[in-house]
Chain A
């Protein structure tokens, strides 16, 4: 697969259930919570799909010292630019694996192998998002994931997938997704209602 999407960062650590990416700087057009991303799998032409479920800025004692020193107005702009443009701000993006494609088409399941350290992670294009969300089998992987805010993540991913479709198709897409959720969460109407309200 071509690497035409926006590069998010490089893989720091990974398992088959998900991976963590390191970024130097948070760009305004960087993918946010709920975005679909993909990394190359270890087999040639294989791809691992995931959803961003956490973006965190790691603690930085130097920044803490500057905050407590109360920067003067004349220094603020220069120091802030130094930290944002020059220093390696430790931003970590956590991704939940929700699917893979080993050349036989997209499957909503955990990949057989995780991506390799320092592999690039890319934001999915609209076309890739539409292809991935043509089916809803990945819902179960998200709803059962323990370490992520599952309902928020699923709702955010559906909003992103809807936005990747033409305006005329968005409502039908969300209604179809809602039906699938109703089926999966038939035994938990309170959770279902909360999730549907987020769409």
Chain B
């Protein structure tokens, strides 16, 4: 074992004491934030413009402290989830390639039918696959391709679904995070491809949402700080924000079971610089827990077209809570889509072997880089001779 736990003992104990001390301060901050939420609840319109300047949650027409109860859902409705995982290109490996595996599940509430489960792996190995200009498709570039593959799968499934209420779900966010070192037109093209899939879901008559479990966002906390300094973005930027590290979810733990908070617009620059108006991403917080259980606050993101239609918004709200209550706190379809997408270390090893065999059959003698080779020797488990 190379991680010598004995050397961490004192630090771990100090961490526990620090967290315990922070608990009381945290409780005081939550109380302050909730007081401000009630106090400035009707100032949404006044705060809308300055909120964007300080990257705070942008209020909509709903009072900031609103709580909307769990709406009724239709007797029959469908929830479709897709999730993806990937094998990154490894320059030390026997060959340069990447794999994206998208798992999806179609769950028809009220049908009694077995859900439809599916996994679709894609291998990228040509130069056209592997490079964008001079950049290797890895890291953020591969994440973007995986996100697009997930949404494309959802759009395909929504298009194939018979008429009826349908909600498409992804895990995470609907804001495509594209690194800024790409040229602006390159970023816009990637976002447009993503928005095209949102369009397809919209035109299929379905709704779409992203579910973020245990979110750490502080967009609403920043908005409350802005409200407390009179809505002046300069003061908000200059004066210390007592709620700086308070996650929004702590503020909304008072939501009744199944209820959602007010809607806000995400302040992400990508949302405003690259998303068309009809797709601008909104969010709210939802208490997904059942009656009598501790609150489970999740962040739910939806495009503008889904929140502007009261029926679609209610369906997404009801469907997410119905799904989370199957497992207790997290949408069942997302848990299963993740399971269907996940590539285990054994599967990675087996796929590496498959690639090695294919290369040999094609007459190519491939080898790991010296660095990768020695890692295979040293990471088998270190032994000590004393």
| A85 and B114 within 8 A (CB) | yes
| A68 and B325 within 8 A (CB) | no
**B326 — which chain A residues lie within 8 A by C-beta?**
66, 69, 71-72, 75, 79
User: Chain B nearest CB: distance from A30 CB in Å?
Assistant: 19
| B328 and A78 within 8 A (CB) | no
| B117 and A79 within 8 A (CB) | no
| B115 and A82 within 8 A (CB) | yes
* A interface footprint on B315-351 (CB within 8 Å = 1, 0 otherwise): 0000000000111100010011001000000000000
**B111 — which chain A residues lie within 8 A by C-beta?**
78
CB-CB contacts below 8 Å: A76-130 with B: 77-79, 81-82, 84-87
Q: Tell me whether B24 is interfacial, beta carbon within 8 Å.
A: no
Segment with Cβ contacts to A, from B102-110, B154-162, B270-278: B102-110
Bound-complex Cα distance A77 to B327 (A):
14
With A65-B327, A74-B109, A78-B109 given, name 11 new contacts (CB 8 A): A62-B339, A65-B328, A66-B327, A72-B325, A72-B326, A78-B112, A78-B115, A81-B115, A82-B105, A86-B114, A87-B117
Q: Tell me whether B113 is interfacial, beta carbon within 8 Å.
A: yes
Bound-complex Cα distance A88 to B335 (A):
15
Main secondary structure of the interface of B (DSSP, over half): mixed
Which of these, B117, B327, B328, contacts A82 with CB under 8 Å? Answer: B117
**B109 — which chain A residues lie within 8 A by C-beta?**
74, 78
Q: Which residues of A contact B (CB under 8 A)?
A: 62, 65-66, 68-69, 71-72, 74-75, 77-79, 81-82, 84-87
**B327 — which chain A residues lie within 8 A by C-beta?**
65-66, 69
Bound-complex Cα distance A79 to B112 (A):
9
Which of these, B112, B328, B335, contacts A68 with CB under 8 Å? Answer: B328
User: Chain A nearest CB: distance from B335 CB in Å?
Assistant: 7
**A87 — which chain B residues lie within 8 A by C-beta?**
117, 336, 339
Q: Which residues of B contact A (CB under 8 A)?
A: 105, 107-115, 117, 325-328, 332, 335-336, 339
Which of these, A62, A72, A75, contacts B335 with CB under 8 Å? Answer: A62
Bound-complex Cα distance A69 to B326 (A):
7
| B112 and A77 within 8 A (CB) | yes
User: Chain A nearest CB: distance from B79 CB in Å?
Assistant: 11
**B110 — which chain A residues lie within 8 A by C-beta?**
74
Bound-complex Cα distance A112 to B114 (A):
45
Bound-complex Cα distance A77 to B109 (A):
10
User: Chain A nearest CB: distance from B7 CB in Å?
Assistant: 31
User: Chain B nearest CB: distance from A31 CB in Å?
Assistant: 25
| A86 and B335 within 8 A (CB) | no
User: Chain A nearest CB: distance from B105 CB in Å?
Assistant: 8
- Contact A78/B117 with A62-B339, A69-B327 known, Cβ cut-off 8 Å: no
Give A66's nearest chain B residue, CB to CB: B327
Bound-complex Cα distance A84 to B332 (A):
15
Which of these, A65, A68, A78, A84, contacts B113 with CB under 8 Å? Answer: A78
Give B340's nearest chain A residue, CB to CB: A86
| A81 and B113 within 8 A (CB) | yes
| B339 and A78 within 8 A (CB) | no
Bound-complex Cα distance A84 to B327 (A):
17
Give B75's nearest chain A residue, CB to CB: A74
Give B323's nearest chain A residue, CB to CB: A75
Give B118's nearest chain A residue, CB to CB: A86
User: Chain A nearest CB: distance from B244 CB in Å?
Assistant: 35
Give B116's nearest chain A residue, CB to CB: A86
Bound-complex Cα distance A71 to B290 (A):
12
**A82 — which chain B residues lie within 8 A by C-beta?**
105, 107, 114-115, 117, 336
Bound-complex Cα distance A77 to B111 (A):
9
| A78 and B108 within 8 A (CB) | yes
**B339 — which chain A residues lie within 8 A by C-beta?**
62, 87
Q: List 16 A-B contacts (CB under 8 A).
A: A62-B339, A66-B326, A72-B325, A72-B326, A74-B109, A75-B332, A77-B112, A78-B109, A78-B111, A78-B114, A81-B112, A81-B113, A82-B105, A82-B114, A82-B336, A87-B339
Bound-complex Cα distance A78 to B117 (A):
12
Bound-complex Cα distance A66 to B111 (A):
20
The 8 nearest A-B residue pairs measured at CB: A81-B114, A69-B328, A86-B117, A85-B114, A82-B115, A77-B112, A75-B326, A69-B327
User: Chain A nearest CB: distance from B304 CB in Å?
Assistant: 31
